[in-house]
Amino acid sequence: MGSVPEATVWWVRRDFRLADNPALLAAVDGGEAVVPLFVLDPAILRKAGPVRTEWLLASLSALHADMAGAGGPGLSVIEGRPAEVLPRVARQVRAATVHISSDFAPYGRRRDAAVRTALADAGIELVATGSPYGVAPGTVTTKSGSPFQVFTPFWRAWSDHGVNGPAAPVDPATAHWLAAADRTPIAEVDPVLVERAGEATATRRWHEWLDRDQAGVEDYLDLHNTPGSDATSHLSIPLKWGQLHPRTLLADLSTHRSKGSAGLSRQLAWRDFFADVLYHRPDAVTQPIRSAFATMPTDEPATDSAIASRLAAWQQGRTGFPLVDAGMRQLLAEGWMHNRVRMVTASFLVKDLHIGWWHGADWFMDRLRDGDISQNQLNWQWVAGCGTDASPYFRVFNPTGQAAKFDPDGTYIRRYLPELADLPLDYLHQPWTAPGGVPAGYPEPIVDHAAERKEALERYEVVKSFTN
């Protein structure tokens, strides 16, 4: 062991970048050699699903290429339980510290506590610097010290607190990198996907969107609800995986000083808010924050084949409601869905099909490249009316009305539903009204929205009586 140099370990989790990365900067600034390490945790891989797993592998490959391009060994990847892998690697390289960016999700906190204990038993310190958020969960509280329950006062406190500026980038050519002794090759994925998942691509696309003359940041407030215009930033994926940090984005937005940039900054505050809520309420992964909603009757696919068929129709984009189906087809094709359409598809599952929100949340987590537990679960609870700062349950999105309002020319629907591409606009949002009937290959509506809206409100009476 005497010939092995002293080193430190940078444990990569949700921070696949070299710029604005305080944890990496802390590891490099220590002056020792650095082992960049990613642990393929079986507990996470079991839940990730094929879409997120593929994007994870692409992100690993992209970061490895960025680091290895400077002549070093690149990223070390080892499969196993973190509480076993980290102490073993740290002992191998005689590391006194392991550097991380803090994780505030329920599983991440439990995992990090176990790793901290295992490292401490070996005389090694786990050092947490920074987080994936503009303002870390638990930082801003009410005057009484309690967590915020509603977004708007949280946003005011978040704005008053402020967000630190970006950390200095790390030049991989200036650091002394080491490889773990028992690292394994990163599984091969489509090189096009690797390029898309990299930090450089995320940064370039972000700046291109900022500099757009049309459908960019200046038009964000006017166009972000219209899925056909493709006017959103598409930030959710690089934020999920940490190819970009919200500090960087907020610093860039601060130079624009427009209604659009202010609107996007507010969306980043929503991201911090939901992370804060889950930090204080880890049970919200599976349980409604408003406990009265546990009494609401829902239809269970596992016990009724007809309900299971409806769930499958929703999952595959075969409900007969064009905006819902276009959104679900986009999800299947791209691993992403426009945010307005996420709300419409979620409302349809919960309030037209009366299927519990957790079934939809599970499907989204399985299929979304940006699947993030706090954002996913709490956005689903918001639509279902059972979360903190929730949309009232009696607000039932009309899928036809939403289509007419937010995709008035049918651009989005035609993009993802080729069966309806030639249908005149007069019938596009309600294809069952076309003179020749529903076009071949497209389904009839699986429910009557007006009737199901009435049914949803009747079921809500149980919740109202419980709370009253």
Q: What is the SS3 assignment for 408?
A: coil
Mean pLDDT of 263-288: 97
Mean pLDDT of 404-433: 97
Rounded Cα distance, 397 and 375, in Å = 20
**pLDDT of 409 higher than 60:** yes
Give per-residue pLDDT as tens, 223-238.
999 999 989 999 999 9
Termini Cα distance of the chain: 69
Rounded Cα distance, 23 and 82, in Å = 18
Q: Is the dihedral of CA 153, 338, 363, 240 positive or negative?
A: negative
Give the position of tokens 């199901």: 452
Tokens standing for 211?
A: 């500099």
* Percent of the chain whose pLDDT exceeds 70: 98
pLDDT at 1: 39
Mean pLDDT of 292-297: 94
**pLDDT of 15 higher than 80:** yes
Give per-residue pLDDT as tens, 164-192.
999 999 999 989 999 999 999 999 999 99
Mean pLDDT of 199-205: 97
DSSP state string for 111-171: HHHHHHHHHHHTT-EEEE---SSSS-TTS---TTSPPPSSHHHHHHHHHHH--PPPPPP--
CB–CB of 89/37 below 8 Å?
yes
Tokens standing for 96?
A: 């006194």
Question: How high is the mean pLDDT of the chain?
Answer: 95
**pLDDT of 210 higher than 90:** yes
Rounded Cα distance, 345 and 323, in Å = 8
- Of 124, 181, 169, nearest to 29 (Cα)? 169
Question: What is each CA distance from 327 to 55, 186, 237, 324, 397, in whole angstroms?
Answer: 20, 32, 17, 5, 14
Question: What is each CA distance from 432 to 160, 428, 436, in whole angstroms?
Answer: 52, 9, 9
Give per-residue pLDDT as tens, 120-136.
999 999 999 999 999 99
Q: How far is CA 402 from the centre of its chain?
A: 24
Classify 7-130 by CATH class.
alpha beta
**pLDDT of 299 higher than 60:** yes
Residue 5's pLDDT band (boundaries 50, 70, 90)? low
**pLDDT of 3 higher than 60:** no
Beta bridge partners of 37: 11, 76
CATH fold group of domain 135-165+199-280: 1.25.40
Count of CB atoms situated within 10 Å of the CB of 1: 7
Residue 395's pLDDT band (boundaries 50, 70, 90)? confident
284-467 belongs to CATH 1.10.579.10: yes
**pLDDT of 407 higher than 60:** yes
**pLDDT of 74 higher than 70:** yes
Question: Which of 284-288, 394-398, 407-411, 440-444 bottoms out in mean pLDDT, i.e. has the lowest?
Answer: 394-398
**pLDDT of 435 higher than 60:** yes
**pLDDT of 2 higher than 50:** no
> Under 8 Å CB-to-CB from 224, ≥6 apart: which residues?
231, 232, 263, 339, 340
- Domain spans in the chain, listed from the N-terminal domain onward: 7-130, 135-165+199-280, 284-467
Side-chain-side CA neighbours of residue 387 (13 Å) = 28
pLDDT at 70: 81
Residue 243's pLDDT band (boundaries 50, 70, 90)? very high
The amino acid occupying position 102 is: S
Say what the pTM is: 0.95
Residue 467's pLDDT band (boundaries 50, 70, 90)? low
Rounded Cα distance, 228 and 145, in Å = 43
